[in-house]
Chain A
Amino acid sequence: MSILADKHTRLVVQGITGREGLFHTEQMLNYGTQVVAGTRPGKGGEWVLDDKVPVFDSVKVAVEATGANTSIIFVPAKGAKDAMLEAADSGVEFVVCLTEHIPVQDMMVVRAYYDQKGVRLLGPNCPGLLTPGEAKVGIIPGDIAIPGDVGVVSRSGTLTYEVLFALKLHGMGSSTCVGIGGDPINGTNFIDCLRMFEEDPQTDRVVLIGEIGGTDEEKAAEFISREMTKRVVGFIAGKTAPPGKRMGHAGAIVEGGEGTAAEKVKALEKAGVRVADHPEQIPDLLAD
């Protein structure tokens, strides 16, 4: 078991003919993910990657032809809103958007529409997710994680890889690793993932990697103290970040005194979460 993606995932790649889309589709195929279709308006009927993946003009047509149930979006920011809305209307259950730099008002519209439709969104501005040994839906390098019982949920990209790799070096594997993205308005959040990990029989322990900005970690802490029975270990990036400055991620900013690392660490510790001082401590905190 795992959450959100497994060997039954049938993936359609939006923007498959672009440089990033094509490169990462090949990586996902090599990992064993069932990539059943790609889309690019005007290129319907073509095939890519040595005729392994058929290309369709729209997601709806791709879903009808292949039974795809999950979509991943590699479309530049200018077209990402339309791509996400198209996916929500196509019949897939789950949409992963990797695109960075999407205007925040676009995301407010997209998120409101997804809530109406009842479709799940992951991202944007995220590395996607990885269920080691089963499926990779995104760009998390497959070889840095092994199958196991640790659920990982994170707002970051390479920081997550760092943690997965540290776990692997300690012989610890992951059930699923989910990157929820660094934007202020996104789809799936910490609580959604914590709830799924709590219910997932393969997951015994969870790592939550947060950062400055917003109050999602504080809300996650409330959820943990109220509903989680499994052990959660945390890490918060940005203790040394100055207020009022956006630290790379659009959502990583301390504004009006809200969103500091200190507040988040305090909230998590109050909920019984052990919070690591630095990423390499995480395996030790999980073990003892």
Chain B
Amino acid sequence: MKLHEYQSKQIFAQYGVPVPKGRVASTPAEAREIANELGGRVVVKSQVLVGGRGKAGGIKLAKDAEEAEKLAGEILTMSIKGLPVRKVLVDPAADIQTEIYLGITNDRAARRPVLMGSAAGGVDIEEVAANTPEKIIKVHIDPLLGLQDYQILDLALGIELPKEQWTEFNAVCQGLWRAYKENDATLAEVNPLIIQGDGHLAAIDGKMILDDNALYRHPELAEKRDLDVEAESETEANKFGLTYIKLDGEIGCMVNGAGLAMATMDIIKHFGGEPANFLDIGGGATAEKVAAAIRIILKDPNVKAVLFNIFGGITRGDVVAQGILAALEEVKPSVPLVVRLAGTNAEEGRAMLAGADMLTAETLAEAAQKAVAAATGELKK
């Protein structure tokens, strides 16, 4: 789950990371009020969960409160990469001498967190990583020991940070580490961390991504989820314990198990179709789950046929067939359905479905070919 910049910076501040004294506004009038309190020049920043806000015109500098109000009014009516801007952060304009990148994330291959710093701050760090990886200094953190001060010194030396800033830099790094660890983040990033004209450090932009699997430990953070970034259908699927991801093709699919669901999408493509979605129905294909899955798949107007691929393991094929029949009674789909049951009690399941208004297949390859043909209208029951 991604947090907005203002939310991330609020958390960083709790751990002693210095952030600007700005606040968030939902209306131009609020933006004006905040700018008035701050005095002087301010920066008005759209709060949307996508990168490239600046390039899209979502970050603007204002010379006073009046201009802040006007710019906030413009930004609050924008959409950036399809996401509506609902809030703006009004921060005092920063006095930037030097920009540094600082971030902690999970290094999957090393199986531990990694603290990364670069003197090339303020720009897209993925670009730096791709073009000049030597400019990123990495320090791996032992999950049993935590971040050590000498490691922060190593990083400071690596990015050639002047020694006047070392003490503050240590506090920023330790604060960022605690924010990452105590909130179960998968990413805690300050970009840029700046050295101001007065020599002090400030985190003028921040980003956090939290581990969805750990949100039960942070109910107050779970409430901050921004539903704008999720497709409505994906949120709906979650309610039923389904994992659904919408794609652009015309063949819907419903599968038990994530790996098999991917393999089913792939085989549709292999035989000339395009998958309309990923859908993992999980264990136990009950009528309720199957019905919810069919409803969600068919909400997508591009879907011309639906392929069910269920491997009966612990879940028996006849029980799955019952679920499918009950769901069809309820939903009455208008596009052709192809069903392929395999594994435990698959034959019994297939026999039960023989009378239903659907095409059946024994192998996955046969099912995929039939679904592709049914989607183009070449094949009918």
- Are A and B interaction partners? yes
A143 to B109, CA, bound (A): 35
CB of A176 closer than 8 Å to a CB of B: no
Evaluate whether A155 and B259 lie within 8 angstroms (CB atoms) in the complex, with A238-B266, A240-B266, A241-B278 already known. Answer: yes
The interface residues of chain B lying within 8 Å CB-to-CB of A257 are 130
B262 CB contact (under 8 Å) in A109, A214, A215, A247: A247
CB pair A252–B245 under 8 Å, yes or no, is: no
Evaluate whether A161 and B364 lie within 8 angstroms (CB atoms) in the complex, with A105-B211, A108-B113 already known. Answer: no
A237 CB to closest chain B CB (Å) equals 4
Evaluate whether A103 and B278 lie within 8 angstroms (CB atoms) in the complex, with A108-B106, A165-B342, A182-B259 already known. Answer: no
CB pair A143–B344 under 8 Å, yes or no, is: yes
A234 CB to closest chain B CB (Å) equals 13
Give the interface residue-count category, chain A.
35 or more
CB of A147 closer than 8 Å to a CB of B: no
CB neighbors of B among A194-226 (8 A): 209, 211-212, 214-215
B264 CB to closest chain A CB (Å) equals 9
Evaluate whether A165 and B259 lie within 8 angstroms (CB atoms) in the complex, with A141-B313, A215-B109 already known. Answer: no
Pick out which of these stretches binds chain B: A37-45, A46-54, A56-64, A273-281: A273-281
CB pair B112–A240 under 8 Å, yes or no, is: no
The interface residues of chain B lying within 8 Å CB-to-CB of A157 are 257-260, 313
The interface residues of chain A lying within 8 Å CB-to-CB of B213 are 77, 101-104, 250
A-B residue pair count with CB separations less than 8 angstroms: 163
Identify the A interface with B (CB < 8 A): 27, 77-78, 101-106, 108-109, 111-113, 116, 139-141, 143-144, 154-162, 165, 182, 184-185, 209, 211-212, 214-215, 235, 237-242, 245, 247-252, 256-257, 261, 277-280
CB of B169 closer than 8 Å to a CB of A: no
A139 CB contact (under 8 Å) in B275, B313, B342: B313
B242 CB to closest chain A CB (Å) equals 10
Give the interface residue-count category, chain B.
35 or more
CB pair A209–B259 under 8 Å, yes or no, is: yes
CB pair A212–B365 under 8 Å, yes or no, is: no
CB pair B275–A240 under 8 Å, yes or no, is: yes
CB pair A248–B258 under 8 Å, yes or no, is: yes
CB of B138 closer than 8 Å to a CB of A: no
CB of B144 closer than 8 Å to a CB of A: yes
A195 to B129, CA, bound (A): 33
The interface residues of chain A lying within 8 Å CB-to-CB of B6 are none
CB pair B343–A109 under 8 Å, yes or no, is: no
Chain A: which residue is nearest B125 at the CB level?
A: A256
CB pair A278–B259 under 8 Å, yes or no, is: no
CB neighbors of A among B92-146 (8 A): 106, 108-109, 111-113, 126, 129-130, 142-144
Evaluate whether A109 and B143 lie within 8 angstroms (CB atoms) in the complex, with A237-B262, A245-B245, A279-B263 already known. Answer: yes
The interface residues of chain B lying within 8 Å CB-to-CB of A252 are 258-259, 262
CB pair B111–A108 under 8 Å, yes or no, is: yes
A154 to B258, CA, bound (A): 13
The interface residues of chain A lying within 8 Å CB-to-CB of B111 are 108, 111-112, 185
Chain B: which residue is nearest A155 at the CB level?
A: B259
CB of B363 closer than 8 Å to a CB of A: yes
From A116, A247, A252, residue with most partner B Cβ within 10 Å: A247
CB of B150 closer than 8 Å to a CB of A: no
CB of B256 closer than 8 Å to a CB of A: yes
Evaluate whether A277 and B259 lie within 8 angstroms (CB atoms) in the complex, with A184-B108, A248-B280 already known. Answer: no
A233 CB to closest chain B CB (Å) equals 15
Evaluate whether A237 and B259 lie within 8 angstroms (CB atoms) in the complex, with A101-B213, A105-B184, A139-B314 already known. Answer: yes
A173 to B263, CA, bound (A): 22
The interface residues of chain B lying within 8 Å CB-to-CB of A111 are 111
The interface residues of chain B lying within 8 Å CB-to-CB of A139 are 313-314
